Each structure stands twice: as C-alpha cells, then as structure tokens.
Structure 1
C-alpha cells in the first residue's frame, strides 16, 4: 500500500502542474497559437508538458514531501471520489472527444467546432474540470502525502483561472450562443431539480 500511495503522490505532483500550465499558456495566447496552427501548437505544448513531467519527476521526493501515513478513512473516501470521478469521465467522454480535450477546435481558426450543450453539458458547463478537481482530491486522499494535498489545494484556484480564460475564448468564438448557454447552465454544480 505504501508504494501505491507514493506512486499516486508522484503522479499528482509531477503530472498535474504541466497539464494546468498547458491551458494557462494556450488560453491567454490563443490568437498566436491559431496563427501557428493546431499541429505545431500541439507539438510545442506536448514537448513542454513532457519536459515538465520529466523535470518534476526528477525532484519528486522533494515535491511529495512528508508521508502522512495510511489512513483507511481517506482510502475509503478516495474510492468513493474515484467512483464519482470515473462516472463523470465516462459521461463526459461521450461529448468531449480527445480532439476537443487537447484544444484542436479552439486552435483551428478554419474549423472552430461546435458548442457542447448536450448530455452532461446540459447540466454543468465544465464537467472536465470538476472531474479533474475531484480526481485530484481522490488521489490526494489515497496518497496522503503533504505535497499531494498542496497540489490539490492549488488545483481549485488554478482550474478556476483556466475556466475564466476558456470562457472568454468561448464567448469570442460562439458569441451570443455561449452567453445564452452561460445564463441557463451553471459552471460547476448542477442545479437540483424541484418536484
């Protein structure tokens, strides 16, 4: 169990930050990336992400920090959160293809894609980011290393910043259609139905 917990801690501290950085580099400069085009942008960003993972993995022991020990209540919480995260991922995957996940439509000025408003996207605007946040919490609960908890705490504000940048880009790309979608669908938590 200790080895598995350590692996989960390493995954959080070495894989998640480059993934977040990807979107914090793409969204604010989307006009520049569109001029470069999807394929070169994905090569550049992929190379940066891989370099980031390798660099962070090299200093993993520093990043994971102290082991806070196995706590079976946290292991159970991790299993429950993992199940919810998996459920969201399966449902979300029906609309959010790998192509969309990597940002190809927003990088391709000639083929901007379509606004996702069906399925889980009819209930919340950013299921992928909810999935990442809950999944990171599940990993942190299971790992129970200080570094994993710190990354999880930073994940919420970082994801929110990514969401704000993405929403700006979606308003630019889809205009009134996205504004109307924003007015009727909540950002992170689905509305409870009455009656």
Structure 2
C-alpha cells in the first residue's frame, strides 16, 4: 500500500471516528430546549464553508480522485504526522463532548438550564472543540495527497473560527457574566499557555 492510499484511508477513518463520537451527543441535544441562539444566515454560511473544506472537497477527492492535477506524492513521514494529528483530534473531540455532556450544541446555542462547563478539558481551555477541529484540519492537510483537498480544511475551518470565536465569547459573557470573565482570565482559547 502506498503512502497516498494509506493517508486517504486514515482520513476516512478519522471522519468515521468523528461521527461515531458526535452522533450520540447530537441525538441528545435535539431533546433539550434551546433558550437562546445565534443561528441565522451568517452562522449557516460559516458552517457551510467549514463543511466544504473539512468534508465535501476532501470527500470528493477520496471518492473520485478529483482534482487529479493537484495530486501530491506524500512521504511515509508526512502520513505518520497526519495519523498523530488525527489521533490528537479524535482524543480532544471525545474529551470535549464528554466534558460538555448535556450542554453540547453544534451551533451557538444556550440550552435550557445551561451551565458554564469549566471542568475536564475545559479547565485549561475555553474552546477545546476548536482545538480538535484545528488538529483535524491539520491531519487532513497531511493525510490527503492533494494540495487543494488537503489544505481545504485549514481554510474552511479557519474562516469559521475567525468569524465565530468573537460572537461565541460575547454570548457566553452575556449569559454567564462575571463567572465567564473570570474563567476567560485564567484559561487559553485553544492552545494551553499560548493562545
């Protein structure tokens, strides 16, 4: 098996792992009433851009090989780093879902009886779910042997992150006030000790 084929298979396994982790939380979340949301056209556009970069373009490449002109020939070392980033992404993804429990939401929602989660992986990071998605986007860039489909996740998720982080933090501050401001002062956004 070639490094290119191994990378594509690993990407598919990462997507399957992501869905297996998320599915039960998504089902549970549908049963809880949303008290306040920031969903709307802007959020829909951000999610569509991210989905295109992290799902649609790489999925088309893996299924069809298109765009063929952008194929690369990755090394085994690059694939190994991609698998390591993939493992990190899935571990972070699982830890965020476990810590959030009933407070989890796919979008910018405040649920009924919403509580500020500051335990588990949220003890040091305010947005570890975004850390997981950055690791996933990096894994995709390393695993997929295509210079369009591979980095598409970094671009797509980067746009979502840049446009969403501010509104999300404002919503949390409006909801939890001083408790969130204190939490914000003692934690990093996505990388412990750095950012």
Q: TM-score, normalising length from structure 1?
A: 0.63
**Matching of residues 133-148 of structure 1 within 5 Å:** 133-147=134-148, 148=150
**Structure 1 residue 60 and structure 2 residue 60: aligned?**
yes
Q: CA deviation at 1:123?
A: 0.6
Q: Specify whether residues 146 and 174 from structure 1 end up closer, same or farther in structure 2 by C-alpha distance, changes over 3 A only.
A: same
Partner of 2:151: 149
User: How many angstroms apart in 1 are the aligned matches of 2:181 and 2:103?
Assistant: 24
Q: CA deviation at 1:162?
A: 1.7
2:39–2:108 Cα contact (<8 Å) kept = no
Q: Specify whether residues 100 and 32 from structure 1 end up closer, same or farther in structure 2 by C-alpha distance, changes over 3 A only.
A: closer
Q: Specify whether residues 91 and 151 from structure 1 end up closer, same or farther in structure 2 by C-alpha distance, changes over 3 A only.
A: closer
User: How many angstroms apart in 2 are the aligned matches of 1:160 and 1:72?
Assistant: 32
Q: 77, 81, 85: which is aligned to 1:77? A: 81
Q: CA deviation at 1:98?
A: 7.0
Q: CA deviation at 1:30?
A: 3.2
1:112–1:173 Cα contact (<8 Å) kept = no
Q: 166, 169, 172: which is aligned to 1:167? A: 169
Partner of 2:104: 100
User: How many angstroms apart in 1 are the aligned matches of 2:109 and 2:160?
Assistant: 22
Partner of 2:122: 121
2:89–2:132 Cα contact (<8 Å) kept = yes
**Matching of residues 21-60 of structure 1 within 5 Å:** 30=37, 56=56, 60=60
Higher helix share: 1
User: How many angstroms apart in 2 are the aligned matches of 1:32 and 1:105?
Assistant: 8
**Structure 1 residue 178 and structure 2 residue 177: aligned?**
no
User: How many angstroms apart in 2 are the aligned matches of 1:169 and 1:163?
Assistant: 10
Partner of 2:189: 187
Q: CA deviation at 1:135?
A: 1.2
Q: CA deviation at 1:163?
A: 1.6
Q: CA deviation at 1:130?
A: 0.3
CA RMSD between the two structures: 3.6
Paired residue secondary structure (1:152): helix
User: How many angstroms apart in 2 are the aligned matches of 1:152 and 1:32?
Assistant: 23
User: How many angstroms apart in 2 are the aligned matches of 1:85 and 1:103?
Assistant: 19
Q: TM-score, normalising length from structure 2?
A: 0.63
